[in-house]
Structure 1
Amino acid sequence: MTIVVTGATGHLGRLTVDSLLARGVAASDIRAAGRSVERLAPLAALGVETVVIDFEKPETLPDAFAGADAVLLVSGSEVGKRVPQHRNAIAAAEAAGVGRLVYTSAPHATDGALVLAPEHKATEEMLAASSVPVTILRNNWYTENYTGLIDQAAATGEIVGSAGDGRVASASRKDYAEAAAVVLSTPGHEGAVYELSGDTAWSFDELASTIGELVGREVVYRSVSPEEHTRILTEAGLDEGTAAFLVALDGNIRDGELADARSALAELIGRPTTPLAQGLAESREESAA
């Protein structure tokens, strides 16, 4: 068996390789693909086969996908470039005759209003039109997305946003990585679309309280209008495009786009998903290391 993990130099890809190894998959059966030889080196030291790829350079992909029984296509990190990048990867996988493609998508990608959804929807449509068997992992938010708020909240005593009473069913990256490892290494997932999330959806008041306990001071959530949120972000130095994107994400949360807590992730990994407090604490420790 040969399992290919793309994005192996990123957080999710590396954690997926770690999870495959923890599940007993032989290092020699794993091919880790990423853009940097240096960042792949720690995996090579474990006996994992490594290969340098770039989705924008199709000529780098055939050798990476050759003979693969399963390929994890970790979605590209560059918003606006994902569709052509993913098109190249899918075409290469199809030409190589890979056994199955597993794609990390977004929640409710084909019928939701999430600002990130269109590129994922387009990718899912390309996958459906290909001849390769496919499994879709629609990952909800990563708890780690909020690690950057911890120091800010410790200094100011507040979290500011325009998500209102919206809720987020986040889980830790390691949870999603474990699910990917399960799907890559076990049969029966062809054609499946998994809506993955944390077991519970938390509010921003709960996030503030959790961070307060973590930093040892009272932290509150200050809910502002989208217009006020935009002003705060731009005055903090963000460009207008980035500020608009972040405010749009908060609008999605306010509208319930990330509140869909389901059991699929816990069922795949065979345990409850990582609670918010634990996920934030572990992420903070890793960031400080």
Structure 2
Amino acid sequence: MGSIAVTGITGHLAPLVIDGLLGAGVAQSSLVGLARAPERAASLAARGVDVRLGDYDAPETLTAALAGVSTLLLVSASEVGKRIVQHTNVVEAAKAAGVARIAYTSIVRADTSAVSLAVEHKATEQVIAASGLPYTFLRNSWYIENYTRDLARHLATGVIVGAAGGGKIAGATIADYAAAAVAVLTGDGHEGTTYELGGTPFTLAELAAAITDVTGTNVTYQDLPEAEFIATLREHAGLDEGTAAFVAGLDAAIARGELDVPTTDLETLIGRPSTPLADVIRAARS
């Protein structure tokens, strides 16, 4: 196995992928981590990972950063609205550097989803497919941590407010998605494959019930019409109109079933069930 590079190593997902690769027996000398600010990845460098400057917005840094790399995990950038250009820069650099295969963290049903976030992911998948590089698409559903990071507020207010109706969310932990990426990066036979990844589905009402069960504090789910949810986000969360509409639109997508995943791809890749919702809540509480 040649060198494996992972982008975005100062984010949430990529460090766990690095941990998983090391745990799977990949030598430190075979791991390359790309970061816009390499000094923020000092802990990984101290573990022997080759940390290199790789800025999505600076193409001149990317080809050099990918020199000698065989397999690349392109972790999607965080700046919505800029990602098509940023990801294209990485793909072009990977091709110029002679990277042999690329895996990309996309979004569930990227090619057909009406979720606003899917637009840039679909375009990135098209750029990768057109590059001629052997690829694997890891289409991740929601992180459960999107909800548990607000656990203190839910417990303080006793309510989760949203506009998701009874829509199911096939959420999984960041660690679960990282484990799936590790399986693809270290395994064979994944080229040309698209994985729709998600855990055991839950509704926001079921999330509230699980929080109640785990903590002993009663939390309920209050469902609002989308327009009313936008107004609530503006009034109580201080969001501007555009951001509030974006957040409420994600809940509307959940209500349509856009974030439910009717496959067992995640469980198959990681060789176990996804982390139970109650366990994630318990960990967040502690």
TM-score with structure 2 length normalisation? 0.97
Pair 1:214-2:214 in alignment: yes
SS at match of 2:105: strand
Quick check: 1:162–1:225 contact (8 Å CA) kept in 2? yes
Quick check: 2:36–2:56 contact (8 Å CA) kept in 1? no
**Across the two proteins, how many residue pairs are aligned to each other?**
284
Pair 1:90-2:91 in alignment: yes
Separation (CA, whole Å) in 2 of partners of 1:158 and 1:49 = 45
Alignment partner, residue 22 of structure 1: 23
Cα distance, 1:111 vs. partner? Answer: 1.0
CA RMSD in angstroms comes to 1.1
Quick check: 1:150–1:215 contact (8 Å CA) kept in 2? no
SS at match of 1:202: coil
Alignment of structure 1 residues 1-289 onto 2, 5 Å: 1-198=2-199, 200-236=200-236, 237-285=238-286
Separation (CA, whole Å) in 2 of partners of 1:68 and 1:257 = 35
Separation (CA, whole Å) in 2 of partners of 1:242 and 1:108 = 23
Cα distance, 1:284 vs. partner? Answer: 4.6
SS at match of 1:135: strand
Quick check: 1:3–1:69 contact (8 Å CA) kept in 2? yes
SS at match of 2:281: helix
Quick check: 1:97–1:132 contact (8 Å CA) kept in 2? no
Q: Which shifted more, 273-282 or 238-247? A: 273-282
Q: Which shifted more, 32-41 or 267-276? A: 32-41
CA displacement 1:146-204 (0-9 Å, x = unmatched): 02331111111111111011110000010110110111111111111111110x21011
Separation (CA, whole Å) in 2 of partners of 1:101 and 1:17 = 16
Letter in structure 2 aligned against 1:98: V
Letter in structure 1 aligned against 2:82: K
SS at match of 2:160: strand
Quick check: 2:75–2:105 contact (8 Å CA) kept in 1? yes
Gaps of 5+ in 1: none
Quick check: 2:148–2:280 contact (8 Å CA) kept in 1? no
Distance 1:276 1:261, change over 3 A: farther
Cα distance, 1:274 vs. partner? Answer: 0.5
CA displacement 1:216-257 (0-9 Å, x = unmatched): 211100111111101110002111111000010000000000
SS at match of 2:69: coil
Separation (CA, whole Å) in 2 of partners of 1:39 and 1:215 = 35
Cα distance, 1:283 vs. partner? Answer: 4.0
Letter in structure 2 aligned against 1:187: D
SS at match of 1:193: strand
Separation (CA, whole Å) in 1 of partners of 2:40 and 2:262 = 34
Quick check: 1:99–1:132 contact (8 Å CA) kept in 2? yes
Give me the identity figure in percent.
50
Gaps of 5+ in 2: none
TM-score with structure 1 length normalisation? 0.96
Separation (CA, whole Å) in 2 of partners of 1:14 and 1:273 = 19
Distance 1:64 1:185, change over 3 A: same
Cα distance, 1:38 vs. partner? Answer: 2.5
